[in-house]
């Protein structure tokens, strides 16, 4: 066969080879991602079996009690306390039922308990959530808002800004008294945000200090500069909820992965202070296996929080925070 014919054949085969190589690379990446997810779920299942059979320490014994409660309890998750809203995603859906069980076993239970999801659950997760739905959980599908999904679709409901809202995280084991304490504080001082854990936002006349320089709150004094961290639970008054609803989805540009920062910036704009319930912050135990990944690496280690702070706080808000800090120093 003439050399010119071979050259034409090779020229025609070249793009086919390139497409085959690209397809092979995509298939390899897909296999790796699936294998990684399977490995996480297998590790989670093994860890759960070990905790069920041989728990180590009080925290794991508590988790075992939640596993058994989920398997056998038919008691309601609901009561007469403020509504609670949370969200979950990805592999955390494997353990979100334990966080929900911890809320439902409280000495005070929420009037409504809603889990907001971006996609319908499937398989074992769907069965677990259906079991919880029969006991009062509401599972609702919504457009994805990242971590803001824990509160934003809730306040968009009819009447969603007319009563206090408690937010919770999907990876924590909440003690029986956490919701009762939040509700009691909100009844005594309904104009404030109340939380179990807060950080002090440090500001000068023209800028907010880097996130890593903020300090844990160590008193019960209400301040504009106290930022409630949602991990241990927060109760928000209607005035904050209305302000958040009015700002809409601007957080997608300003603070897409830091809902605490966005909510605090909104509260400062409204002149609403935050109070930590006790002199020392409470950080509750995490559901085992949920702390390997998360937003911490992106927001804190990666420096994303500082960029989101700069985009979320107006000059007027910065000035208010700086004035408050200066007044405390002069007192």
* pLDDT score, position 36: 45
* pLDDT score, position 237: 98
* pLDDT score, position 247: 97
CA-CA distance, 74 to 71, in Å (whole number)?
9
> CB-based contacts of 53: which residues, under 8 Å, 6+ apart?
none
Cα torsion at 247, 249, 255, 258 (round to 10°)? 100
CA-CA distance, 194 to 180, in Å (whole number)?
12
Q: In what order do the strands lie in the sheet with 215-216?
A: 215-216, 198-200, 226-228
Cα torsion at 121, 126, 128, 132 (round to 10°)? 80
* pLDDT score, position 96: 97
Contact between 305 and 255 (Cβ < 8 Å): no
Backbone angles phi, psi at 226, to 5 degrees: -85, 120
* pLDDT score, position 37: 47
Cα torsion at 298, 42, 169, 116 (round to 10°)? 100
* Average pLDDT per consecutive 10 residues, the chain (331 residues; last block may be shorter): 63 65 59 45 51 76 93 96 96 94 97 97 95 98 96 98 98 97 98 98 89 95 97 97 98 97 98 97 88 49 80 95 88 69
Q: In what order do the strands lie in the sheet with 138-141?
A: 138-141, 113-117, 83-87, 165-167, 234-236, 193-195, 274-276
* pLDDT score, position 4: 64
CA-CA distance, 208 to 308, in Å (whole number)?
11
* pLDDT score, position 18: 62
Q: Name the 3-class secondary structure at 140.
A: strand
Task: Name which of 266, 256, 171, 254 is nearest 224 in CA terms.
Answer: 266
* pLDDT score, position 59: 86
Backbone angles phi, psi at 305, to 5 degrees: -60, -40
Which tokens hold the place of 178?
């956490």
Q: What is the pTM of this model?
A: 0.83
* pLDDT score, position 38: 40
The 10s digit of each residue's pLDDT in 49-91 is 677 766 777 888 999 999 999 999 999 999 999 999 999 999 8
């Amino acid at each position: 066969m003439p050399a010119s014919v071979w050259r034409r054949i090779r020229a025609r085969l070249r793009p086919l080879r390139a497409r085959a190589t690209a397809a092979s690379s995509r298939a390899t990446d897909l296999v790796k991602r699936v294998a990684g997810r399977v490995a996480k779920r297998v590790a989670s299942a093994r860890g759960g079996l070990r905790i069920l059979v041989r728990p180590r320490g009080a925290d794991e014994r508590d988790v075992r009690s939640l596993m058994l409660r989920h398997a056998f309890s038919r008691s309601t998750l609901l009561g007469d306390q403020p509504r609670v809203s949370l969200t979950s995603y990805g592999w955390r859906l494997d353990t979100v039922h334990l966080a929900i069980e911890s809320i439902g076993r409280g000495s005070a239970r929420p009037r409504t308990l809603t889990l907001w999801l971006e996609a319908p659950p499937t398989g074992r997760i769907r069965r677990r959530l259906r079991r919880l739905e029969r006991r009062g959980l509401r599972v609702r599908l919504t457009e994805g808002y990242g971590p803001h999904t824990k509160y934003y679709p809730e306040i968009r409901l009819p009447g969603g800004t007319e009563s206090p809202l408690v937010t919770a995280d999907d990876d924590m084991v909440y003690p029986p008294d956490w919701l009762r304490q939040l509700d009691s504080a909100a009844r005594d001082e309904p104009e404030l945000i109340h939380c179990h854990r807060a950080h002090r936002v440090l500001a000068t006349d023209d800028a907010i200090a880097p996130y890593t320089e903020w300090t844990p709150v160590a008193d019960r004094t209400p301040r504009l500069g106290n930022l409630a961290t949602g991990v241990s639970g927060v109760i928000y008054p209607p005035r904050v909820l209305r302000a958040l609803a009015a700002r809409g989805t601007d957080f997608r540009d300003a603070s897409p992965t830091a809902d605490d920062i966005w909510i605090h910036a909104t509260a400062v704009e409204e002149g609403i202070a935050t109070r930590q319930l006790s002199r020392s912050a409470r950080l509750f135990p995490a559901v085992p296996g949920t702390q390997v990944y998360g937003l911490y690496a992106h927001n804190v280690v990666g420096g994303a929080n500082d960029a989101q702070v700069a985009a979320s706080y107006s000059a007027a808000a910065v000035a208010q925070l700086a004035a408050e800090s200066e007044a405390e120093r002069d007192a």
